Structure 1
Amino acid sequence: MANLLIIVAVTLDYHLHTPMYFFLMNLAVLDIGSISILVPKAMANSLMGSRTISYSGCITQVFLLVFFLESDFALLTVMAHDRYVSICNPLHYQTIMHRGACIQLAASAWISGVFHASLNTGSTFAITFCSNVVNQFFCEIPQLLKLSCSDLYLVQIGVMVLTCGLVLGCFIFIILTYTKIFATVLRIPSVQGQKKALSTCIPHLTVVFLLVFSGIFAYGRSIADSSSHLDIVFAVFYAILPPFLNPFIYTMRNKEIKTALWKLFTVVHFSKSISCRIVV
């Protein structure tokens, strides 16, 4: 619901029709997707006392999860570039981050997600499995690799190393970008100007660290030979917690989003009041 409110607010409020909020809306869509492919199935299994998923369902879950998470991180990288141009090169911001460029950057993030999802899913399910019991509440690639009966799992490990390398490259790019941003912010003479610049950067950086470090803990734990209930706990940290917290992190100190949401609630409440008066 929180992500949906962000999408509606950005769509309806013309004050939020800027590159930063365009990318934030895309992030909200990805967060809805990533949490929707895991939680409903887990809840259904819990309510029905079942612990099964079809083979095709497992393939779909792996593909969509990798797609949404990879696209999410690619979009966070794009958002770091947007903040860099906005703060370090403000006079050319409108020229560089024009509508066409924003659409191309967002599309490239989504396309990279499709590429990585196809590569990871194809290499994972080319493996012969010795068992159909996955020690996780969803189909997770490291847990599936533990069930392998063939040497083809080495191919998927290679693909995972490639993916992790690309994610690491994006993370280094984000860190270097924010190093330049903070250096520029510190040179702003106005304290109020510094606070305004930081208010748009800190939430984004928080989301990046949350996703990266939760993923490191989860996959670092999953790759180990031993399995335990901690694997499930760590999976929650990287697969469910980030999309759940992202909208709150972005809206907590964002006055423009708060104002847009307040206007939205006011309009809805006014519309309901008018309709009630008409009925009476």
Structure 2
Amino acid sequence: MDQTTINEASSYIQDKLGAKPSLGLILGSGLGVLADEIQNPVIIPYKDIPHFPESTVAGHKGRLVAGNIEGKQVIAMQGRFHFYEGYSMKQVTFPVRVMKQLGIESIIVTNAAGGINTSFSPGDLMVITDHINNMGSNPLIGKNNDELGARFPDMSECYDREYIQLAGKCAEELGITIQKGIYVGNTGPTYETPAEIKMLRTLGGDAVGMSTVPEVIVAGHAGLRVLGISCISNMAAGILDQPLTHTEVIETTEKVRDDFLHFIKKIISRLPQ
């Protein structure tokens, strides 16, 4: 994905927008309900946007929604792309490049994840403090475009510390108990084996999923401030004596819908301009 394709996609979207967005949102499995809260929405199906992939997973509507929420101009991905769908890392992260081109300065990335930390419970919301890239690839592999970011970007603070503190304060004000922890990105589409979960816990992982890490790497490369939030939709393999299903993921995210909406909207309202 070169600068030309980024420009073509962003120009198409810009022509549809009324105002320049300052905040990007990537909404994971079952969490797209936040896009329904956007006022005066401009809705753009992915299939209409030049060079955009299409989402193929249940719980991902596959469209951009732009407009106003809590006084901020936002652009939201109602559904994301995954490496396991057969897309390249550059295709998976292409929307982040496009949102940056459209003018966003910050991005909130959400996902549904399996709980590795045994003190977690399904339905918990976890603010991501760091991640482990266990995908065996990186979206920045290949020739670097210095206009987009540095060849060797620092990832020591890819999740913004000020935003993490703000999320904690917002949860406290709302009376919502949240977790904080390290997210492990695997390729999927298989759920992990019990042995793999034991390994990831040993490595320091608190939650595991099949997304987020590529987008955050590119956001960091692009100089965007990032807040990551996982909905712990199930306990990972080997913790509970039951099989894992995508249906369970969607059902759990539906149960925490209200807390998730209140939490994210509160954060958005308090983000610095």
Report the TM-score when normalising by structure 1: 0.28
> If each structure's helix is expressed as a fraction of its own residues, which one has the higher value?
1
> If each structure's strand is expressed as a fraction of its own residues, which one has the higher value?
2
Report the TM-score when normalising by structure 2: 0.28
